[in-house]
Amino acid sequence: MQARLTTLYCSLICCALFLVGACPAGAQSPTPDRSLDVAVVEALLDHQRNSGSPFYYVEVGRTFDADGAVLYLTLHDLHTRDVVPGIVDWGVALREAGQWRIALPGDPAYTTMFERLSPDVRARIDDSEYRAEADPVIAAALTLDDYQFPWEDGRWATVTRSFDRHGTGKIDFDLSGRAVTAAKDGIVVYANDSYNRNTYASGAWWYWNTIVIEHGPHEYSLYGHLEPGSIVPRIKERCGSDLSRANCFVPVEAGEVIALEGNTGYSQNYHLHFETGQRYGIAAYVDVHDGDGDGDRRDLVYGAYIYAEHNVAFTGYTPEQVAGWPWGTLRQALHRPSPRPNVNLVRNGDFSDGVNEWTPSGQLNWEVRDGVMRALRLRTTEPPEWAAFYQDLEVGAPAGFPLDIEFELGNASAIAKSVTVTLMNAAGRHYGQVQCRFELPPDTPLRPYRIEATTPDTWARLRLEFAFNPPDGSPAALVDNVVVMHRPRPAVATMCHGPDSPA
């Protein structure tokens, strides 16, 4: 069962709630078991009276069954009673030996108790109706489809949770301990790498190290769980030490290293938590873990957070595609500009400089004669079982990027040959490729061929390859006038055009 507490508790416990100003007249019990209501009130009152916290909790809803519950808790300033915007903490309730036990974030038993909740309760957890939603009018005015992956150019990262599993605007990446980069040009407005606690056991999320970047009005990104002491000096030296408020004003560019991936705060493993939204805040909690080692657990610890979250798209993908990425999805970062339109990306594509800029691979015999590449696969059973030459184009392309590949092919031998032309990620064809195979009858002069291609994923570097079959040792397939060019057009499925194809 799930309940929304528009009024807090039944009349049985209203007197206790009246003491904190949280019980309106006519309140009704959210669950049939009033003993849980009583236990929750007692826990929240104890937190208010004895924790030293600058806020008190109010329960606004819960997801529960007969033996456990997740409590949705908003924070309220102890003096003004104003709600702290954008935060919904979770409490955990478990029935043990007929008695209810309550754990709030920061309790040493928090995660252990959470993991003992029934699978049904954990599957139904949903606090979205209690969170501040992004303003759709504001979102419509923002450019949210030009974010870059927040790690270094050419490096890879693994998606561990995306929007559909983690929540609107939230995505986790495993960077294998590497550098974190800004996902978009902006201004660092908040930076903290002073915490060295992992608080997975207690759920004390506020011990995470974070950077918040403002990309424009109502557009923020957050980088969470950063390694202690890892924020780059260019940023750290220009930020203040007061963590209770915005402490930076440092411009950064997309792709610029800002810190290292870490495991601080409520984190089970090293990873980067990346989050985007229309607002950010800084909340004060008590130092339950004595993070500064002074023995005073009532010192304040400040945690930055994003709220009014919105989904974004990384260049080349849609927000819907990003949201649906399953665990284990591998992505490569590209921070260099995309190729300019109508510029040939191939070097020495007319072979006027011989084989310069091209690399042979496998059982290949090749030579350039009269400005034409002549290539064949040797007749041998020795490995490797291919013959090709290729060129790394020294540029990358985002997902969904249209490229045209143009070239001339011929066959100077009396044996039919095939030429397979592949555009791929230079890291390896298993990371994605676009491929066409062309059959060349015997004694065929050079004729024009073309491939219309669209990159299926972001590739940090492109590779163009020509492969030859069969292993007949008969000279030779002919290749000339190779061009790879970006021509702005709608993305299409791969189309292979021979000399007799319609224009």
* Torsion angle of C-alpha atoms 233, 236, 237, 242, degrees rounded to 10: -160
Q: What is the pLDDT of residue 53?
A: 95
Alpha helices in 51-124 (DSSP H): 110-115, 119-124
Please give the average per-residue pLDDT across 162-188, as a whole number: 96
210 with 222: CB under 8 angstroms? yes
- CATH 2.60.120.260 in the chain: give the residue spans: 359-497
- Tell me which DSSP letter residue 147 carries: B
pLDDT digits (tens, 9 = 90+) for 257-288: 999 999 999 999 999 999 999 999 999 999 99
Under the banding of pLDDT at 50, 70 and 90, the label for residue 21 is very low
Average pLDDT for 210-216: 98
Look at residue 371 and tell me whether its pLDDT is greater than 90.
yes
Class of domain 140-332: mainly beta
pLDDT of residue 6 exceeding 90: no
Residues of the chain with CATH 2.70.70.10: 140-332
Q: CATH topology for 359-497?
A: Jelly Rolls (2.60.120)
Element (H, E) at 140: helix 136-141
Task: Name residue 252's beta-bridge partners.
Answer: 186
Copy the structure tokens of residue 316: 């080349």
Task: Please give the structure tokens belonging to residue 304.
Answer: 């930055």
Instruction: Report percent pLDDT > 90 for the chain.
Output: 88
Tell me the average pLDDT of the chain: 93
Quick: pLDDT tens for 119-141.
999 999 999 999 999 999 999 99
Residue 315 has pLDDT above 90, yes or no: yes
Inter-residue contact 192 to 225 (CB < 8 Å):
no
pTM over cut 0.85: yes
User: What number is the average pLDDT over the span 46-60?
Assistant: 96
Q: For the segment 444-501, what is each residue's pLDDT rounded down to a tens digit?
A: 999 999 999 999 999 999 999 999 999 998 899 999 999 999 988 888 889 999 998 7
What tens digit of pLDDT does each residue of 335-347 get? 999 999 999 999 9
Burial of 31: CB neighbours in 10 Å, binned 0-12, 13-18, 19+: buried
